[in-house]
Amino acid sequence: MTLKLYEQSVNYSFQLRLYLEKCENKLYLSQIGNMCLRIVVQTRGGGMSKVNHNQFIYRADKTTRLADFDPNFTGDFNDEQQARASMEKDAADIAKYQDILMAHETNGLLIIFQAMDGAGKDATIKNVMSNLDPQGCEMKMFKAPSEKEVKHDYLRRAAQSVPARGQIGIFNRSYYEHVIVERIHPEKLARQNLPESATGKDIWKKRYRHINNFEEYLLDNGIHVLKFFLNLSKEEQREKLLERIKRPEKKWKFALEDLEDRKHWNKYMKVYEEAFNQTSTKIAPWYIIPDNHRWFARALIASIVLEKLKSLHSKYPDMSGEQKKEMAKAQALLQKESVPNDK
């Protein structure tokens, strides 16, 4: 598209907004305004279409550090509205390609979210995945294991919740808690009452190996894994926790345990960094998502999920010769049925 045509579309959007400001129906104004923004985003080829997703991948080598990723990064977006328009467009396309995924039943997609408290995992999932067909997806929230669950191996809960081929699974936290939280809080590891042979100084190295093998096993069975870490700064976390305390609709999410974990911020960052260095693999890399501006984080995640779904299946499955014959036969039978006379 030429620059001149793009400028015309932007000018049209601006003029329409000026006109609608005179309208009394504010809801209509908001809806039309957002539609204009989506038109502009689509005109430019999609807000995230030119973003190189690889720059957010954690490269597992001795030189990469978590501090190398800027939580304030917002790319080329000028404001929240532009990013939201991009996210909404991609979210709609995610629903389309989810339907194609369901039609094939050949591949599945597991999406993992990890973050410090206050990073907005719940709201991100809600916004990005809002258009998904409930028949083709399932969300699992990994809270502290029950007394029964703690007696089983630590990957059991995850294995039981892995999506089937043709489905999308979403993990709000995951089995990575067992190599993150349990390193900071050894009492949670002790609760598992593991035999001596399963503990010791090599326990974390062993668990990293288990996890890498588990994710390779999933891929060998058609289940692809996307892993997102919402990279929130300590300063921004403070603001989000204060917001939980002040806003009535968020107070129920607040827990004193969040403040206890905040005291161990530096330890958490070190443990996360080691986990990324050990488990960010070619087949299941970690994406470090800038999260100080949630509107950018959501737009970026939507773009990455959409790209992944497109890479699995770009179109609906072709029908076999036998299926075509069956459909032709069914069509002929239906056409032969008498049409009721409405007279």
Question: Of the ranges 47-51, 76-80, 222-226, which one carries the lowest mean pLDDT score?
Answer: 47-51
- pLDDT band at 17; cut points 50, 70, 90: very low
pLDDT of residue 50: 67
Helix, strand, coil tally for the chain in percent (to 5): 55, 10, 35
pLDDT of residue 61: 84
Secondary structure of residue 232 in the 3-state scheme = coil
pLDDT of residue 33: 45
Tokens of 5: 């045509």
Mean per-residue pLDDT for 14-19?
A: 44
pLDDT of residue 102: 98
Q: Is the pLDDT of residue 216 over 80?
A: yes
pLDDT of residue 2: 40
- More confident position, 56 or 34: 56
Which pLDDT tens digit goes with each residue over 248-268? 878 787 777 888 899 999 999
Q: Is the pLDDT of residue 172 over 90?
A: yes
Q: Is the pLDDT of residue 6 over 70?
A: no
- pLDDT band at 41; cut points 50, 70, 90: very low
In order, the DSSP letters of 91-158 are HHHHHHHHHHHHHH-S-EEEEEEEE-TTS-HHHHHHHHTTT--GGGEEEEE--SPPTTGGGS-TTHHH
> Do residues 51 and 75 lie in contact, with contact meaning Cβ atoms separated by under 8 Å?
yes
pTM of the model: 0.83
Mean per-residue pLDDT for 18-22?
A: 43
Q: Is the pLDDT of residue 208 over 60?
A: yes
Which pLDDT tens digit goes with each residue over 93-132? 999 999 999 999 999 999 999 999 999 999 999 999 999 9
Report the C-alpha gap between 109 and 139 in whole angstroms: 12
Q: Is the pLDDT of residue 5 over 80?
A: no
- Cβ atoms < 10 Å from Cβ of 196: 6
Q: Is the pLDDT of residue 225 over 90?
A: yes
Mean per-residue pLDDT for 193-204?
A: 91
Which pLDDT tens digit goes with each residue over 126-158? 999 999 999 999 999 999 999 999 999 999 999
pLDDT of residue 197: 87
Distance of CA 191 to the CA centre of its chain: 31
Across the chain, mean pLDDT equals 87
pLDDT of residue 79: 86
pLDDT of residue 44: 43
Question: Of the ranges 18-27, 225-234, 255-264, 279-288, which one carries the lowest mean pLDDT score?
Answer: 18-27
> Do residues 169 and 163 lie in contact, with contact meaning Cβ atoms separated by under 8 Å?
yes
pLDDT of residue 252: 80
- pLDDT band at 49; cut points 50, 70, 90: low
> Do residues 56 and 272 lie in contact, with contact meaning Cβ atoms separated by under 8 Å?
no
